[in-house]
Structure 1
Amino acid sequence: MKVLKFGGSSLADANQFKKVKDIALSDEERKYIVVSAPGKGVRSSHKVTDLLLMCYQLASHDLNFNEIYEIIEKTYKEIVDELELSVDIDKILKDIHGEIQNGASKDFTASRGEYINAILLADYLGWSFVDAKDIIFFNRGDLDEEKTEREISKVLQDSPYTVIPGFYGQDENGKIKTFSRGGSDITGSLIANALKSEIYENWTDVSGFLVADPKIVENSKTIDYITYRELRELSYMGAPVLHEDSIVPVKKYGIPINIRNTNAPSDKGTTIIPNYDDEKITNNITGIAGKRGFSVITIEKTFMNTEYGFFRKIMSVFETNEIPIEHMPSSIDTVSLIVDTGKIVEKLDKIIEEIKIYTNPKSISVEHGISLIAIVGKGMVNSKGTSGKIFTALGNNDVNVRMISQGSSELNIIIGVLDKDFEKAIKSIYEAFN
């Protein structure tokens, strides 16, 4: 049994609905579908959820929102008319308009895009519709995981071929409550987990994750397999992957997530797995990602490694100033602290002065304009010469490495380079391994 989730671009108009139907009916094991609201498509440059939130904002200030709501109506009516659905879309839209006009909550208003889309797709497929509010539960703002898993299993276990709206559930008072981020992805993951699905297929408008940013590396290869841990490392460095909250539920039972392209269904996409089988490791490097805008604060003091509490004192300065430290490579007499420039720039003089008071260092230097690049891959653990290959590639392309950090798990290597060398460094590393 498979659970599928279709994103907003996959259900933006009637033509996209037809693609979704072909995908859903091509495999009888595809029995549950979670949907997003219509996204940007050929006929619309606006996401329905954004339009609904505009309606809410206008209504909350007693302003007329009919002009915006008409765009939403047009989107859904075109889908219904072109697909010749039996849904009374006029009544549904009229009822929702009335709710918004009469003071509906922000969460209720935002959730109606998914709600309508699920009703339409269920009618088009001839499947059942189950409202997310009947199976997803929140308590005091947090997901009630135990009740949600229990109710999903109870309601859906014996009801295959069902469409469910993503993004929302209900709170302890029976009111609509939305997820903060990645809502439909989380809904799909929760359902796959509760039903112990064979696989969770997440259909979008790309054929999986790429090894490197296509804006930097043209024609970057697609990642065939990636583990949950590798994904977390790349996500931390800004790679456009799934939000972490949408992965947590399926990790419980090690359910794979397959990222697929609605517009290219024959592409196998990227599969997120708990751990590798040896045959799935096709490259030392799984992915490369990075971020600009870091600063390096380097503290020098002779024999600092023998001074009790030295590092604790430094850490306390950053803790009391509420500045997170990204990395902290050190040697016998120096330690470097890599921090987000935007978070430290206004407090820099204060932090330097406090470090001097606490540790009496020989010197403190600060360098801005640093980029961090993460090279991630489970295959690096058992492969000799990976680090040498990386640094040879960088050296051959005149990229000066300002910082090196390798985790104890050998899952990733993080390097720091000047902002001006950021794109060149990523291209160099990619070309060395592909």
Structure 2
Amino acid sequence: MKIVKFGGSSLADATCFQKVKNIIESDPSRKIVVVSAIGKRKKDDNKITDLLYLCHAHLQYGVSTENILSMIEERYRCIKDDLHLSIDLHHEFEIIRQNMMKENIDYLVSRGEYLCAKMMSEYLGYQFIDAKDVILFDYNGKINIEKTKEAFHKFMPLHTGIVVPGFYGSINHQRIKIMARGGSDITGSILADLFDATVYENWSDVSGILAADPKIVHEPKRIESITYNELRELSYMGANVLHDEAVFPVREKNIPINIRNTFEPDNPGTMILNDCSELDKKHPPHTITGIAGKKDFTSITIYKKGISNESGIALKAFQILEKYKISIENMPCGIDSFSLIVSSSKIADCLYEMLSDIKEILQPDSIRISDSLSLIAVVGRGMVKNTGISGKIFGELGAHQINIQTISQGADELNIIVGVHNDDFEKTIQVIYEKFIRRIS
């Protein structure tokens, strides 16, 4: 059995619905379908979920929501009419209008997925199952897997396919509870875990995960297979194709996640696995799987003689950052120094107070502040078997007059993170890609 999730871009209009139906009907194992709310038809269009959030904002300030709701209703009505569906949208929107004032915000913004799933289930001839009845949260906001499994049990065995709206569930079958934006990815992952799926197919408008940002690198190659650990490293640095939390429910069972393109259904996309060793036997991985990065960090370097022998000094530094609710992105260390690399935007309002605490508590010999720093992660499970890859990367950057400000490498040799000036961000990614990915592809 396959779990298939379709994102908003795959559900933007009636033509997209037809493409989705063709994909599902081409493989009888695609029995469980998760859908997002309908998305943008073009670049300057609106996502339904954004419009629903806007409705809530209007409610908060006592402004009429009728124009926005009518716009949303028209989007669904166009799909209904084009596909000749029988769903009573007038009745559905009357219920929304009646409940939107007395229900919480989660109820309102979840209606995009709810209505899309109702329409898709009719179009496919599948059974509609409201996520409110099966995706169950505890009062602490965490999904209760055991209760969710029990709730789904009454629908087994499946005599037909089912369609489940993504993004939300409920507390005690009553109060709607939404997930973070992109939460439909999580819904699909949970169902893949519960039903022991052979694969979780995540369909959107991209043909898998690319080895670099196409805005920076011209036509970067598609990554054929990637481990969950590699994906986490790239996602943390901005390569966002899949919601981070969608990995955890399927990871332990090594259920593959297959990133596919609704508009190129014959493209195999990218396969994400906990363990790619079997695939690697047939197709050995490239030394570098992918490159990702982010701009605008600040490095706070603390110098103090004998700092490496001073017990607890790192803990004290962490506690200072915790006081200001600042997370550390990276921490390169030397014999008499260490650097705290943090997001520039997060420390903009508290930098001087934080430096004052550092001077008072850590009593450093000196402190150096460097801003306009970019962090670039070079990730690859093949690096551990390639002797001297770090030196080769540094040598290539040096040959292109790129100054490396910070360097760190994980103990598992899965990633190398280099810090460069913001002005060298794009050039650094391009140089690494051209030398270590494009030329050996």
1:124 maps to which residue? 123
Q: Tell me the SS of whatever aligns to 1:155.
A: coil
2:110 maps to which residue? 111
User: Structure 1 423/106 Cα, relative in aligned 2: closer, same or farther at 3 Å?
Assistant: same
Q: Distance in 2 between matches of 1:286 and 1:51?
A: 37
Q: Which runs of 5+ in 1 are unaligned?
A: none
Amino acid paired to 2:133 = D
- C-alpha deviation, 1:183, in angstroms: 1.8
Does 1:333 find its partner at 2:348?
A: no
What is the TM-score with the length of structure 2 in the denominator? 0.93
CA contact (8 A) 1:132 1:166 kept: yes
| Alignment match of 2:286 (pick from 273, 276, 283) | 283
CA contact (8 A) 1:204 1:261 kept: yes
1:307 maps to which residue? 310
2:2 maps to which residue? 2
Q: Tell me the SS of whatever aligns to 2:416.
A: strand
Cα-to-partner distance string for 1:89-111 (whole Å, 9 max, x where unaligned): 332233323333x5333211111
Cα-to-partner distance string for 1:339-377 (whole Å, 9 max, x where unaligned): 222223333333333333334433221111111111111
Cα-to-partner distance string for 1:300-336 (whole Å, 9 max, x where unaligned): 2333223334434434433334332222222222222
Q: Tell me the SS of whatever aligns to 1:366.
A: strand
Q: What is the CA RMSD across the aligned residues, in angstroms? A: 2.0
Q: Distance in 2 between matches of 1:315 and 1:47?
A: 40
1:139 maps to which residue? 138
Q: Distance in 1 between matches of 2:319 and 2:88?
A: 62
CA contact (8 A) 1:257 1:271 kept: yes
| Alignment match of 1:365 (pick from 363, 368, 391) | 368
User: Structure 1 410/84 Cα, relative in aligned 2: closer, same or farther at 3 Å?
Assistant: same
Q: Tell me the SS of whatever aligns to 1:302.
A: coil
CA contact (8 A) 1:292 1:422 kept: yes
CA contact (8 A) 2:211 2:289 kept: yes
What is the TM-score with the length of structure 1 in the denominator? 0.94
User: Structure 1 107/303 Cα, relative in aligned 2: closer, same or farther at 3 Å?
Assistant: closer
Cα-to-partner distance string for 1:192-214 (whole Å, 9 max, x where unaligned): 11000000001001111111111
1:70 maps to which residue? 70
1:162 maps to which residue? 162
CA contact (8 A) 1:228 1:274 kept: yes
Q: Distance in 2 between matches of 1:400 and 1:276?
A: 35
CA contact (8 A) 2:200 2:255 kept: yes
Q: Distance in 1 between matches of 2:43 and 2:347?
A: 44
Q: Tell me the SS of whatever aligns to 1:325.
A: coil
Amino acid paired to 1:51 = L
Q: Distance in 2 between matches of 1:228 and 1:218?
A: 26
Aligned residue pairs, count: 433
1:317 maps to which residue? 320
Does 1:19 find its partner at 2:19?
A: yes
Q: Distance in 1 between matches of 2:42 and 2:426?
A: 32
Q: Distance in 2 between matches of 1:422 and 1:332?
A: 28
- C-alpha deviation, 1:180, in angstroms: 2.5
Q: Distance in 1 between matches of 2:407 and 2:271?
A: 30
Q: Distance in 2 between matches of 1:94 and 1:332?
A: 68
Q: Distance in 2 between matches of 1:10 and 1:22?
A: 12
User: Structure 1 120/432 Cα, relative in aligned 2: closer, same or farther at 3 Å?
Assistant: same
User: Structure 1 331/64 Cα, relative in aligned 2: closer, same or farther at 3 Å?
Assistant: closer
Q: Distance in 1 between matches of 2:97 and 2:345?
A: 42
Amino acid paired to 1:99 = N
- C-alpha deviation, 1:36, in angstroms: 0.8
Q: Distance in 2 between matches of 1:135 and 1:124?
A: 22
Q: Tell me the SS of whatever aligns to 1:143.
A: coil
Cα-to-partner distance string for 1:58-80 (whole Å, 9 max, x where unaligned): 34544432211121121111111
| Alignment match of 2:347 (pick from 331, 344, 361) | 344
Larger mean CA deviation between 14-23 and 251-260 belongs to: 251-260
Does 1:185 find its partner at 2:185?
A: yes
Q: Distance in 2 between matches of 1:124 and 1:89?
A: 14
Q: Distance in 1 between matches of 2:179 and 2:173?
A: 16
Larger mean CA deviation between 352-361 and 422-431 belongs to: 352-361
CA contact (8 A) 1:60 1:103 kept: no
Q: Distance in 2 between matches of 1:142 and 1:256?
A: 24
Q: Identity over aligned residues, as a percent? A: 47
Q: Distance in 2 between matches of 1:296 and 1:302?
A: 19
Q: Which runs of 5+ in 2 are unaligned?
A: none
Does 1:242 find its partner at 2:245?
A: no
Q: Distance in 2 between matches of 1:359 and 1:111?
A: 49
User: Structure 1 54/357 Cα, relative in aligned 2: closer, same or farther at 3 Å?
Assistant: closer
User: Structure 1 43/368 Cα, relative in aligned 2: closer, same or farther at 3 Å?
Assistant: closer
Does 1:409 find its partner at 2:408?
A: no
Cα-to-partner distance string for 1:222-241 (whole Å, 9 max, x where unaligned): 11111111111111112123
Cα-to-partner distance string for 1:373-422 (whole Å, 9 max, x where unaligned): 11111111111121122112211211000111001011100011111111
